[in-house]
């Protein structure tokens, strides 16, 4: 890296990346902006055109060059196809994790280097700490921390990453944007999966995965209705089941507890805290570690099995093939295959793995189940 690094900032058109560029500019760095188009612009639900105009307005206000690059082809090949494959297998993937590894800090970082850049900065709420090895830590604002989505970065990618919002809160970021006259200071945060936008998720998925109706059942095999296809449902889901009131059952809401691909059956239970929704442990796919050496013996750590979850204490047993067996101190609700389990020690992100199978909590005898 040169003595005065040229920093490229991924300007998304949102307030976080805009303030990341603002802070670097004020610190006297050589800053340039880069806007990534990762989806088809002719998609009426896609906000690329609006986001690009917002990024242009920010770059003009900060007086920095703005480059635009189209990674839609790479995104489809490296992220979206895997997203569809997971849903076809009945799992629920997290494409943002793959996007960070393959696109933002993959093909985009390579593009930045071709443009003469040394560092790629983003508006992620996370913290990089240099050392041997470089470490990924949670952001100061734990309510906005996004280290969960960055846990599969390779250490070489992390060394080239910069997170200027590491010690900022969201309120501070918006206040900085407003004081600097940035036109997007009050732009709403983007939510959900980027390429789906505001459209109904089921309608989007149906364009790629045909409906495959099957029975909706209780754990005891009682048929309650018909689902549209296992791919359209996720564990713990409440809405969209269209079951309604049933004679002989309480009025509690129904939740997806399991999928049986062999019989194409969707298993549902009543009550948010029904024991069939709980898992005492899980197995994972091959883990990715942000450590000098992968752990070889059992150890204890904290885990998130989904974003927006408090850390949970667990015991991790590494298996010879790189997979993990994980035992929770307390049963966890709606652990979902295809999602990421991310491990922490204090604020440090150790790494993570995709959830493969679950170890379910034992069900009490039928007569003692309050919700059935």
Helix, strand, or coil here: 68? strand
Beta bridge partners of 68: 35
Out of 46, 108, 194, 314, pick the active-site residue.
Answer: 194
219, 225, 231, 232: CA torsion to nearest 10: -120
Element holding 282 (H helix, E strand)? strand 278-284
How many C-beta neighbours within 10 Å does residue 120 have?
A: 22
Return the structure tokens found at 108. Answer: 């985009």
How many C-beta neighbours within 10 Å does residue 311 have?
A: 16
Distance CA 326, CA 285 (A): 11
Q: Is 46 an annotated catalytic residue? A: no
Q: Is 194 an annotated catalytic residue? A: yes
Report which of 162, 169, 163, 173 is spatially closest to residue 142, judged by C-alpha positions.
169
Q: Report residue 39: phi and psi, to 5°.
A: -145, 170
Q: Are 323 and 286 in contact (CB under 8 A)?
A: yes
Distance CA 60, CA 62 (A): 5
Distance CA 240, CA 231 (A): 13
Out of 46, 99, 108, 314, pick the active-site residue.
Answer: 99
CA atoms within 13 A on the CB side of 76: 7
Distance CA 285, CA 82 (A): 15
Query: Which residue has 């006259």 as its token pair?
Result: 181
Helix, strand, or coil here: 285? coil
Element holding 301 (H helix, E strand)? strand 299-304
Which residues carry out catalysis? Answer: 99, 194
């Amino acid at each position: 890296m040169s003595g005065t690094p040229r920093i490229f900032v991924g300007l998304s058109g949102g307030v976080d990346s805009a303030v990341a560029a603002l802070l670097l500019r004020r610190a006297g760095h050589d800053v340039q902006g880069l806007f990534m188009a990762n989806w088809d612009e002719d998609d009426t639900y896609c906000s690329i055109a609006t986001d690009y105009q917002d990024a242009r307005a920010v770059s003009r206000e900060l007086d920095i060059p703005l480059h635009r690059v189209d990674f839609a082809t790479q995104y489809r090949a490296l992220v979206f196809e895997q997203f569809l494959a997971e849903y076809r297998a009945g799992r629920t993937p997290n494409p943002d994790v793959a996007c960070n590894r393959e696109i933002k800090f993959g093909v985009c970082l390579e593009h930045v280097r071709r443009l003469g850049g040394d560092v790629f900065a983003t508006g992620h709420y996370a913290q990089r700490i240099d050392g041997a090895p470089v470490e990924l830590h949670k952001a100061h604002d734990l309510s906005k921390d996004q280290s969960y989505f960055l846990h599969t970065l390779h250490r070489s990618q992390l060394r080239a990453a910069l997170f200027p919002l590491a010690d900022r809160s969201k309120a501070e970021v918006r206040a900085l944007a407003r004081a600097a006259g940035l036109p997007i200071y009050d732009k709403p945060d983007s939510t959900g999966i980027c390429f789906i936008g505001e459209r109904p998720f089921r309608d989007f998925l149906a364009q790629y995965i045909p409906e495959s109706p099957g029975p909706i059942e209780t754990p005891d095999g009682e048929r309650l209705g018909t689902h549209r296809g296992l791919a359209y449902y996720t564990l713990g889901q409440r809405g969209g089941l269209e079951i309604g009131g049933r004679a002989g059952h309480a009025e509690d809401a129904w939740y997806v507890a399991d999928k049986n691909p062999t019989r194409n059956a969707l298993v549902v239970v009543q009550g948010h805290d029904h024991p069939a929704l709980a898992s005492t442990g899980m197995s994972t796919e091959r883990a990715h570690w942000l450590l000098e050496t992968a752990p070889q013996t059992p150890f204890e750590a904290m885990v998130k099995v989904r974003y927006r979850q408090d850390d949970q204490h667990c015991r991790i047993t590494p298996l010879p093939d790189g997979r993990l067996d994980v035992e929770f101190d307390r049963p966890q609700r709606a652990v979902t295959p295809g999602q990421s389990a991310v491990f922490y020690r204090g604020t440090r992100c150790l790494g993570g793995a995709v959830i493969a199978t679950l170890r379910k909590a034992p069900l009490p005898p039928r007569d003692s189940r309050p919700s059935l």
